[in-house]
Amino acid sequence: MTKRKRITRPAKGVPSITTDGGPDKRVVRWICAALIMVALLPYLETTGHEFIRFDDPVYVAENPQVQQGLTWNNAAWAFTTISTGNWHPLTWLSHMLDCQIFGLRPGWHHFVNALLHSANTALVFVVFRAMTGMAWRSALVAALFAVHPLHVESVAWIAERKDVLSTLFGLLALLAYARYVSAPSLMRYGLVVGFFALSLLSKPMLVTLPFALLLLDLWPLKRFSVESRPPIQKPKLVSLFLEKLPLLAMSTASSVVTFKAQHAGGAVAPIDIWPLSQRLANAVVAYVSYLSKAFWPVDLAIVYPFQEQTLAAKTVLAIPLLVGITIGAGVLIRQRPWLMVGWLWFLGTLVPVIGLVQVGAQSMADRYTYVPLIGVFIMVAWSLPSAAFAPSDRGRSAATASVVAVLLTTLAAVTFRQVQFWKNTITLFEHALKITEGNYLAHNLLAGAMKQKGDLIGARKHIEKSLQIRSNYAEARYDLGTIMVQQRDFAQALEQFNLALQTKPEDPMIWNGLGIAKAHLGQMDEAISNYRHALSLNPNYDNVLSNLGATLLAQGKYDEAIEMCERALRLRPNHAETHAALAAALWNRGRVDESIFHNRKALELNPDLLDARFNLGWTLFKTGNYDEAITHLEYVLRLNPGHQAARTALNAAKQERNRASSQP
């Protein structure tokens, strides 16, 4: 008597998914391990890379709040501050944790980014295998995600921690959603909401996730169908939409907060600089550019400037291509729904960064493709014939494996080459200038790196080239002004800061520069007014607080100077010049012991800070500590033999010491 075969039926509400007869759990674990290694290997070189002088200073390298590590005060700061035009508290906490563990060794910060990218790669595989039951196709999507050169910017750039971190939680939300669909419950839906919230707290890139979930409801989850002849049942589709309302509310709130943060930070370009017609045209061209670089990833740069001269012609060519692909995917939606799902995933997840609300001066950015390219990879992986993955057809499977191996190896080689350009700021922006035209952004950013290395002449040349291309580029005007301040050409610096304000009148950094130039020109009252205006735009701008404190000190307004310096030190406790200015103000208010403490702290941070060393020597002389006073004053004269005040104080200190030693 033969046994009847037991048929396992899916639970109610569980979508029926046709698997590819994939590998067992042990092989699946090996696939995950292999994907993690494939994702990690091209980025191991970044452990020897430096911080990039483009956002890395703001996020880590010169951010005293982040460098202090995880504390309750810093956690509160992370959730209440709006910096770099963004509100992303979880990203701040992530950088703080890195600093607490690794300090300011950039290699470890890079390595954490690479680990997060590896985790994301494994999650892409796990998520789509869970949703489709097809292990090998899901592995191909994950492998393409792991090694694609367009993802280098998101992984090799420390400041883009927000990309890999938000994607990690976004993918966890997708995995939680797959489990929720298989067995709906309030707890499982809560996990979707929780992971989505964490993603938005890292970066608001995935505000389109609720719509992506609706696409996945169509395919592969098949919660409503376009394959059968009857039309989609509206009540079913409406119920699926209503199911996403809590997520949509979160997306809306995040979008509002992000827009306000970017607007407050001066990151949103005014409509008169980038008109809506130009933004729409650039969005269309950017879609095609991203798509072309997905299949031919060459000439990748950290910044791509607007090409206004060719924008109209490119738009005319781009529109038919985008419309044609959309129509083609629509025609095939019943037979190959993954084409429409993948295509709409690509188009939809790019919407927040496609430039309709223009943030920054770039026309596009490689980092924006980190999540959207998953849609393209889905289209590729599921368009391969089923026989290519069938174990029974060994010949075709072997041929497919060979082609895929060559493709992935090629992409990995290009990725490895692209990673090398991220070694330091100069290699990165010199590469950008080689492969792009009219790149005023790269010229200016390269100038910043050269200025940091002390090459003011070379930096000025690149800034002037940037301004030749775009004369109203406020950042270049500001940077030229700062170089002129260093060259003590304060009148010309003042002119550059005023020109910068014509384009960005609400930028506190420019108002700070204006105050510095006026203070050096002796226009103290106007400088103080400029500093106060900068603080009205950003109350926690530590440089402005320090400069205002020093200017108030010069005017003899000691109590106000003390207040400003103390506020600055709460934000940046390791700034030597601020400690020195505070020490001088405290001395003039008779708070001698505190003055000595802050002068010592200033010299601990910068032993060659002459003002602090002279003031400490003078204070010690006045308090009768002649030996130490003499040591400090002699140090000042070794560095500056013409310092007459130090020489006078030194002679007086020696005389007093001799007089004291001669007394019985």
pLDDT band at 607 (very low <50, low <70, confident <90, very high): very high
Q: Give the pLDDT of residue 571.
A: 85
pLDDT digits (tens, 9 = 90+) for 612-644: 999 999 999 999 999 999 999 999 999 999 999
Averaged pLDDT for residues 551-575: 94
Q: For the beta carbon of residue 385, count every other beta carbon within 10 angstroms.
A: 10
**Residue 220 CB neighbour total at 10 angstroms:** 21
Residues 103-131: pLDDT tens digits? 999 999 999 999 999 999 999 999 999 99
Q: What is the pLDDT of residue 23?
A: 75
Confidence of residue 311 (pLDDT cuts 50, 70, 90): confident
Helices (H), 22-88: 25-40, 56, 64-67, 72-80
E-state strands within 97-208: none
| Long-range Cβ pairs for the range 465-473 (8 Å, 24+) | 465/440, 466/440, 466/441, 467/440, 469/305, 469/438, 469/439, 469/440, 469/443, 470/440, 472/273, 472/502, 472/503, 473/361, 473/440, 473/444, 473/503
The 3-state secondary structure of 542-611, one letter per residue: HHHHHHHHHHHHHCCCHHHHHHHHHHHHHHCCCCHHHHHHHHHHHHHCCCHHHHHHHHHHHHHHCCCCHH
3-state secondary structure of 268: strand
Question: Which pair of structure tokens corresponds to residue 569?
Answer: 């030190």
Over 60: is that where the pLDDT of 333 sits? yes
User: Distance between CA atoms of 173 and 194, rounded to whole angstroms?
Assistant: 8
Termini Cα distance of the chain:
123
Residue with more model confidence, 570 or 308: 570
Q: Which pTM was predicted?
A: 0.86
Q: What is the pLDDT of residues 493-537, one digit of tens each?
A: 999 999 999 999 989 999 999 999 999 999 999 999 999 999 999
- Domain boundaries in the chain? 25-255+268-420
Instruction: Using the predicted structure, report yes or no on whether residue 46 has a pLDDT greater than 60.
Output: yes
Confidence of residue 385 (pLDDT cuts 50, 70, 90): confident
Q: With a cut of 70, say whether residue 233 has pLDDT above it.
A: no
Tell me the average pLDDT of the chain: 89
Residue that is written with structure tokens 């719509």 in the block: 211
Residue 355 has pLDDT above 70, yes or no: yes
At residue 2, does pLDDT exceed 60? Answer: no
Q: 359 φ, ψ to 5°? A: -115, 120
| Amino acid letter, 36 | I
Q: Model confidence over 13-28: pLDDT tens digits?
A: 434 344 555 678 888 9
For 322, the token pair is: 């985008």
